[in-house]
């Protein structure tokens, strides 16, 4: 530290020292200590000489303290303290600016940004999205979402203001509301609906209007589209009837030769409605479709009743098939119904009757009886050739019901089961008495076999029982 000066200092020297102090960046007290001048002496010089034109008596303010933060609606306040005289001053801090984003019909706009005035702000890089919905009605109940392309931001919703890009630097000092600008898209590919007996003509914006929509059509908002159709059925009612069979049974459009051939058969009177329908239902083409029983019955409802299957009816017809009766037997029930009569009448056609020739389709009771033998004796469903064979034997009188049952019980297929005596007797109870074996009866028949009687003897005992005669009567077999 320098030695404090006590000698008198000339005025010019005082002025020089005061200016050096002001330029040093130190406080007056620190500078005085560094230069060996008593602070009281220095301040005496300042008080006397400050008015002098060569004295730099400016304040030295600190960095300041914010005593009120600015908001987006009010200015802030900052206070500074002078290092020389410890006096204070205040300044207004400009309010914060808001950058508001409006998706302008879209969604997902960026959050509002806050900008400090006179400072650079990078606009949000987040881009909103906008979709239109083309909801197509009338047969095709589907929707298609179509995404618009985001272009930029603009200070006017209609795009007439100043453009700004996402991520661009903004240096202005004013609030902004930025509106998303969109490039409306083409509608693109739309689904092609299917409607039986009609040709699809395209999508239109009105149910009966002429404004057709195609893939290049520019979409400007949500819209509902309507399918337009042209009937694709022959004008001749008989040909229309045949075309309907092709469509509903085979699932395809009629080929010209087939349409003509079947129509000629009807027009000539050689066949009637039910018999022609039988040709379709019993065709190899339909059989190759491998329809389930459920699908088969549903198809018959649509063809012959012109409606969808009701729950009770569907289950009833499935029970018929489960009982062993054929699909053609079920077909006959539909084809000879009052509902199909009305369908034929609407085309000016005589309904007529189905013509089933297979033995299994001749007598419902006999067919069910044979199917029951397959189930109880062999434990399986029928095979068509075997079912026809046994039905034919009973229908022609070649075999009685007992003889047919004997054919099952002593068949190679049954014998290969290698049943014990007890198991054998239990099967006979089911086949000939339609019940489970009772304990005493089972023991008695087991004793008959142990005593040396053969299984044929036991078979006859069951087959000649009153219970079996009652079962046969139930199926209409004497």
pLDDT digits (tens, 9 = 90+) for 224-275: 888 888 777 778 999 999 999 998 999 888 999 999 999 999 999 999 999 9
Classify residue 102: in a domain, yes or no: yes
- The pLDDT score that the predictor gives to residue 2 is 53
Burial of residue 286 (CB within 10 Å: 0-12, 13-18, 19+) is middle
State phi, psi for 229 to the nearest 5 degrees. Answer: -135, 155
- Residue 50 reports pLDDT greater than 70: no
Of residues 30 and 408, more confidently modeled: 408
User: Can you read off the two tokens belonging to residue 318?
Assistant: 């499935």
Same domain as 134, residue 196: yes
Judgement on whether residues 317 and 392 belong to the same structural domain of the protein: no
The verdict on residue 78 lying in a domain is: no
Question: Which pTM does this prediction carry?
Answer: 0.51
Average pLDDT over residues 381-405: 95
Whether residue 85 lies inside any domain: the answer is no
Query: For the chain, what is the HEC assignment?
Result: CCCCCCCCCCHHHHHHHHHHHHHHCCCHHHHHHHHCCCHHHHHHHHHHHCCCCCCCCCCCECCCEEEECCCCCCCEEEEEEECCCCCEEEEEECCCEEEEEECCCCECCCCCEEECCCCCEECCCCCCECEEEEEEECCCCEEEEEECEEEEEECCCCCCCCEECCCCEECCCCCEEEEEEEECCECCCCCCCCCCCEEEEEEECCCCCCCEECCCCECCCCEEEEEEEEECCCCCHHHHHHHHHHHHHHCCCCCHHHHHHHHHHHHHCCCCHHHHHHHHHCCHHHHCCCCCHHHHHHHHHHHHHCCCCCHHHHHHHHHHHHCCCCHHHHHHHHHCCHHHHHHHHHCCCCCCCCCCCCHHHCCHHHHHHHHHHHHHHHCCCCCHHHHHHHHHHHHCCCCCHHHHHHHHHCCHHHHCCCCCHHHHHHHHHHHHHCCCCCHHHHHHHHHHHHCCCCHHHHHHHHHCCHHHHHHHHHCCCC
**pLDDT, mean of residues 449-477:** 95
- Residue 225 phi, psi (nearest 5): -110, 150
* Residue 91 forms part of a structural domain: no
Between CA 321 and CA 370 the distance in angstroms is: 14
The answer to whether the beta carbons of residues 370 and 382 sit under 8 Å apart is yes
Q: Last residue of a domain, which of 205, 232, 259? A: 232
One domain, residues 253 and 223 = no
Question: Is residue 71 one of the residues assigned to a domain?
Answer: no
Tokens read off for 233? 């059925």
Q: How confident is the model at residue 63 (pLDDT cuts 50, 70, 90)?
A: confident
Contacts 24+ apart (CB under 8 A), 436-441: none
**Domain limit, last residue, from 9, 42, 58:** 58
Q: In this predicted model, what pLDDT tens digit does every residue of 335-351 receive, in sequence order?
A: 999 999 999 999 999 99
pLDDT of 28 above 90: no
pLDDT-above-70 percentage for the chain = 94
- For 269-305, the pLDDT digits (tens) are 999 999 999 999 999 999 999 999 999 999 999 999 9
Stretch among 18-27, 144-153, 319-328, 390-399 having the lowest mean pLDDT: 18-27
Radius of gyration for the alpha carbons in the chain, expressed in angstroms and rounded = 52
Residue 207 within any structural domain of the chain: yes
| Average pLDDT, rounded, for the chain | 89
Please identify which residue in the block is written with the tokens 């009771």.
365
CATH number reported for the structural domain that contains residue 440 in this entry: 1.10.3130.20
Same domain, 221 and 106: yes
Could you read off the pLDDT of 410-452 as tens digits, one per residue? 999 999 999 999 999 999 999 999 999 999 999 999 999 999 9
Q: Does residue 192 share a domain with residue 108? A: yes
**Domain harbouring 187, CATH code:** 2.60.40.4270
Quote the number of domains for the chain: 4
Strand pairing of 198-204 and 176-183?
Answer: unpaired
pLDDT at 4: 56
The CATH number that applies at residue 19 is 1.10.10
Please indicate, yes or no, whether residues 195 and 134 belong to a single structural domain of this protein: yes
Tokens representing 93 are: 């801090």
What number of other Cβ atoms are within 10 A of residue 182's Cβ? Answer: 20
β-bridge mates for residue 200, sequence order? 229
Residues 335 and 250 in one domain: yes
Same domain, 159 and 243: no
> Which comes out higher in pLDDT, residue 256 or 51?
256
Tell me how far apart the alpha carbons of residues 32 and 37 are, in angstroms, rounded to a whole number.
Answer: 5
Residue 84's pLDDT is: 62
Q: Are residues 288 and 200 in the same domain?
A: no
- Mean pLDDT throughout 395-415? 95
Q: Does the structure show a pLDDT above 70 at 54?
A: no
Q: Do 341 and 377 lie in a common domain?
A: no
440 and 376 share a domain?
yes
Domain with 411, as residue range(s), is 364-474
User: Residue 345: its pLDDT value, please?
Assistant: 95
Task: Supply 98's token pair.
Answer: 């808001």
Place 99 in a pLDDT band, splitting at 50, 70 and 90.
Answer: very high
200, 232, 264 - which closes a domain: 232
Confidence check: pLDDT of 159 > 70: yes
Q: Pairing state of beta strands 223-231 and 76-81?
A: unpaired
Same domain, 105 and 227: yes
For 299, other C-beta atoms within 10 Å of its C-beta total 19
- Among residues 114, 115, 113, 135, which one has the least CA distance to residue 126? 113
Instruction: Give the pLDDT score at 85.
Output: 62
- Per-residue pLDDT of 304-330, as tens digits, reads 999 999 999 999 999 999 988 999 999
Distance CA 221, CA 133 (A): 8
- List Cβ neighbours of 355 (8 Å cut-off, separation of 6 or more): 275, 278
Whether residue 57 has pLDDT greater than 60? no
Q: Is residue 65 part of a domain?
A: no
CB atoms within 10 A of CB 201: 11
Checking if the pLDDT of 73 tops 60, the result is yes
Whether residue 343 lies inside any domain: the answer is yes
pLDDT of amino acid 230 = 79
């Amino acid at each position: 530290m320098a030695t404090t000066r006590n000698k008198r200092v000339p005025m010019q020297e005082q002025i020089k020292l005061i200016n050096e102090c002001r330029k040093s960046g130190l406080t007056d007290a620190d500078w005085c200590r560094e230069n060996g001048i008593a602070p009281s002496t220095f301040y005496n010089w300042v008080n006397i000489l400050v008015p002098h034109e060569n004295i730099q008596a400016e304040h030295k303010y600190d960095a300041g303290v914010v005593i009120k933060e600015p908001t987006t609606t009010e200015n802030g306040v900052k206070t500074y303290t002078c290092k020389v005289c410890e006096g204070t001053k205040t300044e207004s801090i400009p309010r914060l600016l808001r950058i508001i984003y409006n998706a302008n019909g879209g969604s997902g706009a960026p959050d509002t940004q806050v900008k400090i005035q006179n400072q650079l702000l990078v606009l949000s890089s987040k881009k909103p999205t906008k979709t239109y919905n083309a909801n197509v009605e009338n047969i095709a109940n589907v929707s298609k979402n179509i995404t618009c392309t985001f272009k930029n931001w603009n200070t006017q919703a209609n795009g007439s203001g100043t453009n700004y890009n996402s991520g661009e630097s903004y240096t202005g000092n004013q609030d902004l509301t930025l509106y998303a600008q969109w490039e409306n898209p083409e509608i693109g590919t739309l689904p092609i609906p299917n409607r039986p007996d009609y040709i699809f003509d395209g999508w239109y914006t009105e149910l009966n209007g002429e404004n057709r929509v195609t893939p290049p059509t520019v979409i400007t908002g949500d819209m509902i589209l309507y399918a337009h159709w042209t009937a694709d059925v022959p004008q001749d009612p008989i040909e229309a009837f045949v075309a309907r069979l092709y469509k509903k049974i085979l699932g395809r459009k009629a080929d010209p030769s087939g349409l003509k051939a079947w129509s000629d058969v009807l027009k000539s009177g050689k066949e009637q409605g039910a018999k022609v329908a039988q040709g379709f239902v019993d065709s190899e083409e339909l059989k190759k479709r491998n329809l389930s029983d459920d699908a088969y019955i549903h198809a018959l409802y649509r063809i012959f009743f012109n409606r969808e299957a009701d729950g009770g009816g569907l289950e009833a017809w499935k029970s018929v098939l489960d009982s062993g009766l054929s699909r053609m037997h079920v077909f006959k029930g539909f084809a000879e119904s009052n509902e199909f009569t009305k369908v034929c009448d609407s085309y000016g056609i005589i309904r007529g009757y189905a013509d089933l020739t297979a033995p299994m389709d001749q007598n419902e009771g006999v067919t069910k009886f044979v199917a029951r033998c397959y189930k109880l004796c062999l434990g399986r469903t029928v095979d068509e050739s075997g079912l026809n064979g046994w039905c034919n034997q009973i229908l022609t009188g070649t075999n009685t019901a007992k003889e047919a049952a004997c054919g099952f019980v002593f068949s190679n297929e049954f014998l290969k089961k290698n049943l014990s005596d007890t198991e054998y007797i239990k099967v006979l109870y089911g086949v000939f008495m339609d019940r489970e074996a009772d304990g005493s009866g089972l023991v008695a028949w087991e004793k008959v076999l142990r005593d040396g009687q053969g299984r044929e003897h036991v078979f006859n005992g069951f087959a000649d029982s009153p219970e079996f005669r009652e079962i046969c009567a139930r199926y209409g077999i004497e």
